[in-house]
Chain A
Amino acid sequence: MTISVQNLTKIYKRRLLTQGQYSILKNFLKPTYEKVQALCNISLTIGQGEMVGLIGPNGAGKSTLIKILSGILVPTSGDVRVLEHIPWAHNKTCQSQISLIIGQKTQLWWDLPALDSYELLKAVYHIAANDFDKRLARLSEMLNVTDLLNVPIRELSLGERIKTELIGGLLHNPKIIFLDEPTIGLDLSAQYQIRSFLREYNSLTNASIILTSHYVRDIESVCDRIVVLHKGQFYYDGTQDALSEKFIPYKKLMIHHQPGEYSWRLDPSVVNTSPDQASAYLPVDQVDDFIALVVSQSPIYEVVVEDETLEDLIRRIYNRLSK
């Protein structure tokens, strides 16, 4: 197994500042802490070449998991092996085969062109000169940034920066790539490019990709496997299709009707966008009855029925989780 996690738990200590008259003195003399449980006894395995997406509401533990797997964080308890090594032991062989890419943060020198930082990475990872040249050429072509490698990082747009960041993270041909919110803040076109790049890269090199994102579309288009985290525990771990099957599918209805105040428009599943248009989000087995109800109350011009997207499904799951 490329990555194996067993009974992993991580608890943070967070400092509390109290309010009140004498709070300043109290906080000074005797600070108080609270315990935050980031990960609760989770287990999973990931094979070589798998593309895994980690999603979950804020605070679910996604970034914590990535940091433990990449060796930045030490867990409170549990067993983790990445390429047969314990990640936080920082074994050099292991480190030379993994890569970490964090959205909106760059490991490249801010004031210098990407090429200068790449030279440094070449020395750090002992990349042979022709391997380096070949990979650099191929990666920059795939991402369309060949002309930008001589521009200081701070002068690049966010999308361009992430692309140069990606190249930097892949020059040493890692077996595992950890990506923490790589597309955050990017425009749609850049997001699309990054996603197709990741798919293409995986098929070329069979690298394992572990990705966290708030954009469900990232996960949808890049990852075969979805892991849903909530409050430090796995809520779901499996394929996208199986996820849809696990939950009763919903349908989205778009109803174009003659203007009027009808009682069906007050139904909680209905969102009214204008006096003559409304949309509804319902379980598939309630659709027929609902349409019948609508038709019985109001003249209808048009009804469009759509399958819910993965994004809708995930949102629904988050709603359920927050209750």
Chain B
Amino acid sequence: MSAYLIIIRNAVAESASYRLNQIVSFLTISLPLVFAVFLWKTVFNQVDEITNFDLPSTLTYYLLVVLLQDILYSGVKWEIVDDIHSGGLTKWLTKPISYLWMQVSVRIGTNIPYFLVAFILGSVFVFLNLNRLVWTTEPIRWLMFLAAIIMAFFLAFFLSFGFSLVAFWTQDTSGIEFAISIFLPLLSGQILPITFFPKEFQAILVYLPWRYTLDFPIQVYLGTLSSVQIGTGFTVEFLWLVALYFIAKTLWKNGLNIYQAVGG
């Protein structure tokens, strides 16, 4: 257990080692929110709500996107691709440590400084917009939010891990990374809540896994979904989680065979 903690700590130190970068990350993270406030205030001056969303829920939505988008990232991780292609994976295979759980630790560790910064930012933002955000006091919503977040973390991780394992089979991952970078922001709800999309698209997106990495947990918190939608959501999310876990494990086993056959 301690090995994973040390990995977390090293990941923290590494991502915190550039002073100027930290201050700038702070500013870069705040940017979308600053402009979002201006934009949505103007929009909601003319309408009261857009499909269940009012100004507070929209602003809170984007705040939560900013807070969660890194730890719930479901695209290709270049570190894993690099480990596979350059043979760096070998050093992990000889150690009594699970590569998968090691990557989980790295993800958590890298995000801790980010969270610290985001927490400060979030507090400032909340303070400046006290009457304009959604704050729920219902314990059941918090519980569901927590459950959705935890499931989202592993869902996103298995998606990310799984796609990165493509590196076992191909040298050139740029095509798949490209495809993911086109669809990910749209499908996950990073750009707009899924409910803003035309009905036809929503019907499809609800059954795809990406929506559950950002849109779903956030909307659970905001209370913009009906109980039926929440119920279906959790079910679909759970099924995807199980499926992706097994897919990731299979990809890992098969990929490792290839890796070891080539000699790393």
Contacts and interface: CB of A to CB of B under 8 A. Distances in A.
Nearest to A25: B16
A17 interface: yes
A151 interface: no
B13 A28 contact: no
B19 to A, nearest CB: 6
Interface in B1-53: 12-13, 16-17, 19, 22
B9 to A, nearest CB: 9
Contacts of B19: 27-28, 31
A127 B49 CA distance: 70
Q: Interface SS of chain B: helix, strand, loop or mixed?
A: helix
B6 to A, nearest CB: 13
Nearest to B19: A28
A28 B22 contact: yes
> Size class of A's contact patch?
under 10
Contacts, number: 11
B18 to A, nearest CB: 9
Contacts of A31: 19
A321 interface: no
A137 interface: no
A24 B22 contact: no
Contacts of A17: 17
A287 to B, nearest CB: 51
B169 to A, nearest CB: 27
Interface string A21-53: 000100110010000000000000000000000
Nearest to B113: A24
A24 B11 CA distance: 12
A236 B13 CA distance: 45
A94 B12 CA distance: 49
A27 B14 CA distance: 12
A27 B12 CA distance: 13
Contacts of A24: 12-13, 16-17
Interface in B150-207: none
Contacts of B22: 28
Contacts of A28: 16, 19, 22
A247 to B, nearest CB: 47
Contacts of B17: 17, 24, 27
Interface in A9-23: 17
A17 B13 CA distance: 11
Nearest to A28: B19
A27 B22 CA distance: 12
Contacts of B13: 24
A28 B19 CA distance: 6
A147 to B, nearest CB: 31
A31 B20 CA distance: 12
Interface in B26-85: none
B213 to A, nearest CB: 29
Contacts of B16: 24, 28
A295 B16 CA distance: 67
A95 B18 CA distance: 36
B194 to A, nearest CB: 39
A196 to B, nearest CB: 39
Nearest to B23: A28
A27 B16 CA distance: 10
A56 to B, nearest CB: 32
A140 B201 CA distance: 64
Interface string A45-84: 0000000000000000000000000000000000000000
Interface of B: 12-13, 16-17, 19, 22
11 contacts: A17-B17, A24-B12, A24-B13, A24-B16, A24-B17, A27-B17, A27-B19, A28-B16, A28-B19, A28-B22, A31-B19
Interface of A: 17, 24, 27-28, 31
Given A24-B12, A28-B22, 4 more contacts: A24-B16, A24-B17, A27-B17, A28-B16
Task: List the 3 closest pairs (A to B, CB-CB), nearest first.
Answer: A24-B16, A24-B13, A28-B19
